[in-house]
Amino acid sequence: MIGRPKAALARCAVLATLTAAALPGSAASQSYWVYVAAESEDEVALLRYDAGGDLVVEKTITTGWLAAEIEAPHGLAVDPAGEFWYLTLGHGFPNGRLVKYATVADTVVGVADLGLFPATIAVPPHGTVALAVNANFHGDHVPSTVTIVDLETMFPIADVVTCTMPHGSRFSADGSKHYSACMMDNQLVEIDGATLDVSRRLDLVTNEPAHAPMDGHMAMAPSAAENCSPTWTTPHPDGKSVFVPCNKGDLILEIDLDDWRITRRIEAPGAPYNLDLTPDGSKLVATLKGGARVGVWDVATGELLHLVDSLMRVTHGVVATPDGRYAIVTVEGIGGDPGTVEVIDLESGARVASAHMGKQAGGIALWKMES
Amino acid sequence: MRTTKTIRMAALLGALAVLGTEGIAAQEVARVEVTPATLSLEVGEKAQLSAEAFDADGNAIDVPFLYFSRGGRGRLAVDRATGEIEAFKGGEYEVMARVLGPTRISGTMMVTVAFPAIDRVEISEGGGRFYTGVTIRHKATVIDRADDVRDVAVTWSSSDESVATVDRFGVFSALAPGDVTLSATAEGVVGHIAYEVADNPVTSMAVEASQARGRTGDVIHFTATASDAGGGAVGDIPVTFGLIADPDKVATADIPPAEVDAMGRFVAYKPGVYTVTASVPGTTSHATVEILPRHVTEEVTLVGHAPVRNVSTSDLWVWEGVDGRDYAITGTHSGHGSTYWWDVTDPASPVLTDSLLVDARTTNDVKVSEDGEICVISREGASNRRNGIVIVDCTDPRNIEIISTYDDELTGGVHNLFIYQDHVYAVNNGTRFDVISIAEPATPHRVGRFELDTPGHAIHDIWIVDGIAYTSNWSDGVVVIDVGGGDKGGSPENPVEIARFADIGGATHAAFPYQSPTGKFYIFMGDEIGAPGFDGQEADRTPQFMSGYIHVVDFTDPENPEEVARYEIPEAGSHNMWIDDDRLYAAFYQGGLRVLDISGELKGNLYHQGREIAVYKSYDPDGVVANAPFTWGPQIHKGNLFFAEYFSGMWAVKLQPRRTLIP
């Protein structure tokens, strides 16, 4: 660990108190429901984990327009009210789509056109819009966009140009800011939640505010020694920082949102890919895609608490449960490996349940927690 | 039961309160007003909208809004954050102000943008010399000063109704010799077209058929000659062709037994006697032809089956190896990245000779170089997302070895490819094809690429014959590209477009060129259209369904391609195809393998013309899905017809003449 978070301990104490008051007790009878996309199977699995019990695939929902083509379901989000879930389909003709499902029966209720290979999506706490990052994995390293979709009408309102191969779309806890990372430009991009325009950029290599990548110019990859290739963003629930993994730097960066600078670098060997924080902000969980592991850190101290081997290779997505007890992790596998979903007890670091599903389990979204 | 919704909201509100974060809390909003409620603008004018939110007691709440107009895209610009609007084209548009907060309440207002004055009226026909008695319909296109095509009433008129009349549909009837101007008026703006009407000189008609007897599916040309009193031909009078049909068998509500087009091209679907009439005002003639059954069906005999039952099979390629034996390679789909090599020298007993597992889920396309030494495999679903292609030494298909891989900027996944003269043409999922030199297969490198410039372009497949590439581009149709064999100066390094054609379906998935002995050059364009998988299909249990058909386009004149025929199987969709010796071998997914006689000129729906030589549906009770034909792609090789079945591997059949007598 390099550096120290600003007032991190105090913030976490506040949030811990808050969460204890707001959340129910840690009853063992909690059930957690997640949607997980199988990118190489064109299906989405709905899984349920009963604390202390098994992880079960409750339902498999096929998706896509062409049975004979893989359309690559990738990003998932559930609206705050839990009534709908949203799925990006990466491959289209050529653009991908955002599909809106009703959770009551997992039926399609709306579709919106997106850009080239949309990846992750984020829905703010108010649930009005979705921001989908058009990762454009098709090869040309040119600036891409974030599509803003009105979720009531499923109308794509605008495409905001951000950077090359944007990924890791996430809103701050209060919905006032949106963050995404630029895998090929090494930038963190902030979009104002009210205007939905780009408000700031940070160069994650130089640690200086950045300008928009020049349109029409191929992104030039920095040298390996200084490359970050950020793949995700996770704002801290206190609204004061955002965490970004350097997939090629084996680091997780903490960016202070007041200073708009990197203030901490957490070592995360194994190509960190996706992140999540427990709702109280005390634990940081990262999938280590190259190492087929999951790492759990103490946010206040930066200490690595657990390093958990996964059953399969290529760990991908992660969500922390609303009570902060578990991390639910997706594992892609390779080739014919089944996709895998694993449940990690964040206190003990033990994998307590797992289940197989369709190939290349990736995007994950928590639907609900029931007692 | 307490759910996450409750938990999340409590936590969020608590966090906002404790931390003092400025949030977007609009849960109290009961009503939104947008002012002005209505607005009238001229094109080019701007205005500012303002939205305000109120709670149930009528108190204003300060919340941000998101402004947009679904119907205004490209016509009314709306600044999503400020609510400023600018009118580009006339019309009525609803503008919505959505509260960016936890409510689904929004406000709306209506903007009426006055349509600008009409700029011009364009008439479809060209005018010129016309004969008495002739009628022709005209269409008018009305365009305003914002360059917007307008749907407004058009009034037609003739400058001299004693010379010619025109009705409200623009149908123009020439009555007497003289000069006349036809006018189409829209909101005071007039479009004109001038005619010189002359006496109809035709006193006799003759019509001649290119053949007196034919078979169903044969295209017979009827040539009409109109002559004046002196026996001179009148070549500039429009001739109308008609049809009197007398099919041998008449069934209620059957398809029309034959058709004839405006060029006098006739084709019959049913045997019978058909009379084609050719008319000019006041004169008619006719010719009659006899149509017999086509009688082309053949028997299909199963030769062999190379079963693949653990994973779905994709494309195949069959070739004669360097050792003189015959081999096949088959890819896999949505599986584990495997590819299989088979010895098919005895197609009745295919022998698996080797296999290869690469980091992929789908090895959709497999191709072999002309010399039979290099196999190239496409990759999708690689764990590192780099995908690309795998170049394999298949000189000895019993001991294949990877020579190299190439994935630079092919990260979207290579779905289809073609090998031509030491180059791999790789379709990168999405937008373009890359040309990769494999002259030194250990060091492949990109030498060129080609991409369309149309909005939303997407490419799916490529096929190359004689240095001409035929690419399939969904809504952009087929694009013909010179990669070294054309006269456009193209090369692998610099592909140059020759021509393109988009059909009405907009779902071009595969294309195959065919030089017919008739002198016609056709391109067969196959759709791929699917039923959405949203309705609960279970992939392991339920056969899947596709639709779409093959469009036949006459590309003899590449500057003026014409779609002349279709091959449409009811309740089945087209996939890959192969053409050899006047026969189309077409995979039609759940419709199985179809063999079609494409000899002669082509016109109409070939399915109904008795041209189907054979249909074969392979049923494998142990397939990935049992007994579910889902035919992927065929290839003819040394008289055997090999084809890939998605659920059951590779099959080989043989066609032979029917042994039953045909009357």
Set of chain B residues whose Cβ sits within 8 Å of the Cβ of A107:
534
Angle at A331 between CA A326 and CA A337, to 5 degrees: 145
Rounded CA separation B200/B82 (Å)? 67
Q: What is the mean pLDDT of residues A184-200?
A: 94
Q: Do B96 and A153 touch (CB under 8 A)?
A: yes
pLDDT of residue B409: 86
Across the interface, of A117, A128, A333, the residue whose CB is closest to B100 is A128
- What number of C-beta contacts closer than 8 Å exist between A and B? 242
Contact status of A23 with chain B (Cβ, < 8 Å)? yes
Assess A259–B contact: CB distance below 8 Å, yes or no: no
Nearest to A94 among B1, B458, B536 (CB): B458
Query: Is-contact B633 B657, C-beta < 8 A?
Result: no
- Burial class from Cβ neighbours inside 10 Å (0-12, 13-18, 19+) for residue B231 reads exposed
Q: Within 10 A of B504 (CB to CB), how many other CB atoms are there?
A: 8
What residues of chain A lie within 8 A of the CB of B476, using their CB? none
In percent, how much of chain A has pLDDT > 90? 78
Please work out, in degrees rounded to the nearest 5, the angle formed at the alpha carbon of residue B103 by the alpha carbons of B99 and B108. 45
CA pair distance A188, A209, nearest whole angstrom? 9
Please judge whether B10 and A23 are an interchain contact, meaning their C-beta atoms are less than 8 angstroms apart: yes
What is the reported pLDDT for B540? 55
- pLDDT-derived band of residue B125, with 50, 70 and 90 as boundaries? confident
B593: its two tokens:
């393998």
Contact (CB<8Å) A129/B475: no
Specify the pLDDT at position B19: 31
> Which residue(s) pair with A356 in the sheet?
A340
Inter-chain touch A157–B66, beta carbons under 8 Å = yes
The winner for highest mean pLDDT among A137-151, B290-304, B531-545 is B290-304
Residue A142 confidence class, pLDDT cut points 50, 70, 90: confident
CA distance B436 to chain A (A): 15
Is the confidence at residue B9, as pLDDT, over 80?
no
| Per-residue confidence band for A194, with pLDDT thresholds at 50, 70 and 90 | confident
Could you tell me what percent of chain B has a pLDDT over 90? Answer: 86
Compute the nearest-CA separation of B491 from chain A (Å).
22
A157 CB near a chain B CB, below 8 Å? yes
* DSSP secondary structure letters along B401-444: EEEEEE-TT-TT-EEEEEEETTEEEEEETBTEEEEEE-SSTTS-
Q: What is this model's ipTM?
A: 0.86
CA distances, B361 to each of A39, A347, B337, B517 (Å): 10, 36, 5, 42
Report pLDDT for B385: 86
Average pLDDT score, chain A: 89
Asked if A193 reaches chain B (Cβ–Cβ under 8 Å), the answer is yes
> For B404-437, how does the pLDDT look when each residue is reduced to its tens digit (9 = 90+)?
999 998 888 899 999 999 999 999 867 899 999 9
Q: Please list every residue in chain A whose beta carbon sits closer than 8 Å to the beta carbon of residue B540.
A: none
Mean of the per-residue pLDDT values of chain B: 92
- The sign of the CA dihedral A59, B530, B649, A73 is negative
pLDDT, residue B4, reads 42
What's the number of CA atoms in the CB half-sphere (13 Å) around residue B410?
A: 30
Neighbours of A273 (CB within 10 A): 23
What confidence tens digit (pLDDT) does each residue in B497-542 have? 999 999 988 999 999 999 999 999 999 999 998 865 545 555 555 5
Q: What is the mean pLDDT of residues A196-201?
A: 96
Beta bridge partners of B470: B463, B480
Largest Cα–Cα distance of chain A, in whole Å?
A: 55
* pLDDT exceeds 90 at position B545: no
Task: Tell me the torsion sign for CA atoms B451, B368, B550, B545.
Answer: negative
Out of A55-64, B312-321, B343-352, pick the least confident: A55-64
What pLDDT does A13 receive?
Answer: 32
Q: Tokens for B547?
A: 């639709």
B64, B80, B530 member nearest A65 (Cβ): B530
Q: How many residues does chain A have?
A: 371
Q: Are B365 and B314 in contact (CB under 8 A)?
A: yes
DSSP A27: -
Q: What is the pLDDT of residue A66?
A: 81
Q: What is the pLDDT of residue B15?
A: 36
3-state secondary structure of A226: helix
Q: Look at residue A93 in the predicted model and tell me its pLDDT.
A: 81
Judged by CB atoms closer than 8 Å, whether chains meet at A366 and B4 is answered as: yes
User: For residue B456, what pLDDT band results from cuts at 50, 70 and 90?
Assistant: confident
Please check the confidence at residue B138 and state whether its pLDDT lies above 80.
yes
CA distance B23 to B9: 13
Q: Do B11 and A68 touch (CB under 8 A)?
A: no
Taking contacts as CB-CB distances below 8 angstroms, the residues of chain A near B80 are: 148, 157-158, 195-196
B650 within 8 A of B330, measured Cβ to Cβ: yes
The Cα–Cα gap between B529 and B505 comes to: 9
Task: Check CB contact under 8 Å for B361 and A70.
Answer: yes
Cross-chain Cβ contact A152/B23 below 8 Å: no
In this prediction, residues B270-291 reach a mean pLDDT of 97
End-to-end CA distance of chain B: 77
Which two structure tokens, joined as six digits, stand for A163?
């950077």
CA A238 to chain B, closest CA, distance in angstroms equals 7
What does the block give as tokens for B258? 């034959």
Candidates B429, B472, B546: best to mutate against A (most CBs of A within 10 A) is B429
Contact residues, chain B, for A323 at CB < 8 Å? 7
Rounded (10°) CA dihedral A294, A296, A302, A305: -110
* pLDDT tens for each residue of A211-224: 988 755 555 556 66
Q: Band of the pLDDT at A6, cuts 50, 70, 90?
A: very low
> Which 3-state string (H, E, C) describes B457-476?
CCECEEEEECCEEEEECECC
Rounded average pLDDT over B15-37: 62
CB contact under 8 A, A194 and B81: yes
Confidence (pTM): 0.90
**Residue A59 forms contact with B (CB below 8 Å):** no
Q: Which residues of A touch B409 (CB under 8 A)?
A: 139-140
For residue B655, the distance in angstroms to the closest alpha carbon of chain A comes to 28
CB within 8 Å: A335 and B431? no
Backbone angles phi, psi at B540, to 5 degrees: -85, -10
Decide if A22 touches B, using CB distance below 8 A: yes
Q: What is the pLDDT of residues A9-38, one digit of tens each?
A: 333 333 333 333 334 444 458 999 999 999
Amino acid at B515: Q
Residues of B in contact with A40 (CB under 8 A): 334, 361-362, 380-381
| Position B1 pLDDT exceeds 60 | no
